[in-house]
Structure 1
């Protein structure tokens, strides 16, 4: 049943995407809009293929992926660690929470000029911006997830002798996992936004750089190639994240999907199913 559901979902997704591309192609070729301003998908595809043959598209993708991955890893690691620490320590929370809230209220894009001033237009400024933007959503979710762990779980752990780091690792963190994973997944899209902003501010390679250069030479088709590359990168990152969650935390994945709906006969009391058993 689950396989049939996913097959139907994939078929619907392909149908919707195909319909959108066909409508876009028809609109671009209808004469209602300028094909220069809105190139057809077939034109965008040819331009992308030509860029890939020269190796230029691969170089841009590799540079952007490396920046996004490193910035996301740094921001997510610091966000989870500090969020857990703040939730477990009243002293840390009291000392630094006002500062965190003030910085969290400042849009990450506002730090683009400052990051360039501090670190120049090299890789450091781009990775800093991505890590900065990723940090706060992860921090908030990790903090709330750990702080709001049900006391039933805590008491159950205490009754089994858990305390200190054992309580944290075996009770608190698994209970807070849904919130932490939600923060990480949201931060994936934030990392892509900040990646483009950082590359537009100054870079020699990257998808954002490709879009900027294409705009300067009036190559709208190459701008769409860059936009499509960003969309596919984000889509692929989300799929990889979801797959990694299912592999690393199978119990969470099962709860997330909800499993198959229980049938009426599955909910019968156990005693009723034993009545017809031999010797009952």
Structure 2
């Protein structure tokens, strides 16, 4: 490759200054297997103390027993039915809570009067322990599906609203000034600057709200439930089946990790412009 500097021609070393061939610029990141060392060590330790009798099965079953219980409940269809019911409750509750959070967050973030009228009551309600509202929800909605779904929706709404509101209100003032200098209309400023700038904060709120959704579901399904993973756990508790209890908890954890992984995938795709 030749480079002209002040009329002189300089030849660069071979390969320098040239763009890498397609497909060789970036290497695909491989998962760091070292992160699995401590979890696997804990499972092995759990199995050892269970096998030696230091951990009695009526307190906590061994990993092998838990695995067998998971296979058995899956074969009978009990685990699949409970899984479908719980996922349906979270899905409906998340749609309701996210819709309310999106509308309130956008209105409070974009409008000064919206911020004055919406944000104070939301902040007051946010400080209430929403899990303590279960008795009130039962009085309002009965003991069916509605209190469980509403509990999930309430748990989703607050963290998502806070992040949407914060993301919109904290848009860089220099960006707004630049759009004014470029002659953007209010709508163009909203679509091309304000909303895209609020996406990173919104995705953080989405991850938080999904985690709280599963927490709210766990509590909701332990109250007068006749189906779902919470019912499976409560039923196993009556018969001292700690293996089935752990199976239900593991499924809850896997569902939480799976939904978080989906949001992180969306985050990587939506925020590719950041270059990380």
Using a 3 Å threshold, how does the CA distance of structure 1 residues 153 and 254 change in structure 2: closer, same or farther? closer
Q: What does 1:257-276 align with in structure 2 at a 5 Å threshold? A: 259=276
1:29/1:35 contact within 8 Å kept: no
Q: Which has the higher helix share?
A: 1
| Equivalent residue for 2:179, pick from 129, 153, 157 | 157
Q: Deviations over 1:129-169 (max 9, x none)?
A: 11111111111111111111001111222233322222112
| 1:38 aligned residue | 60
CA deviation after TM superposition for structure 1 residue 26, in Å: 0.6
Please give the alpha-carbon distance, in whole angstroms, between the structure 2 residues aligned to 1:174 and 1:120: 41
Please give the root-mean-square deviation of Cα atoms over the aligned residues, in Å: 1.6
2:97/2:155 contact within 8 Å kept: yes
1:6 and 2:30 matched: yes
Q: Secondary structure at the match of 2:61?
A: coil
Q: What does 1:13-28 align with in structure 2 at a 5 Å threshold? A: 13-28=35-50
**Paired residue total:** 251
| Equivalent residue for 1:230, pick from 252, 261, 273 | 252
| Equivalent residue for 2:84, pick from 62, 75, 82 | 62
Using a 3 Å threshold, how does the CA distance of structure 1 residues 219 and 254 change in structure 2: closer, same or farther? farther
| Equivalent residue for 1:84, pick from 106, 110, 113 | 106
| Equivalent residue for 1:95, pick from 111, 117, 122 | 117
Gap runs ≥5 in structure 1: 260-280
| Equivalent residue for 1:168, pick from 176, 190, 193 | 190
| 1:189 aligned residue | 211
Please give the alpha-carbon distance, in whole angstroms, between the structure 2 residues aligned to 1:6 and 1:151: 39
Max radius of gyration: which structure?
2
Please give the alpha-carbon distance, in whole angstroms, between the structure 2 residues aligned to 1:186 and 1:253: 21
Gap runs ≥5 in structure 2: 1-25
| 2:226 aligned residue | 204
Please give the alpha-carbon distance, in whole angstroms, between the structure 2 residues aligned to 1:104 and 1:12: 39
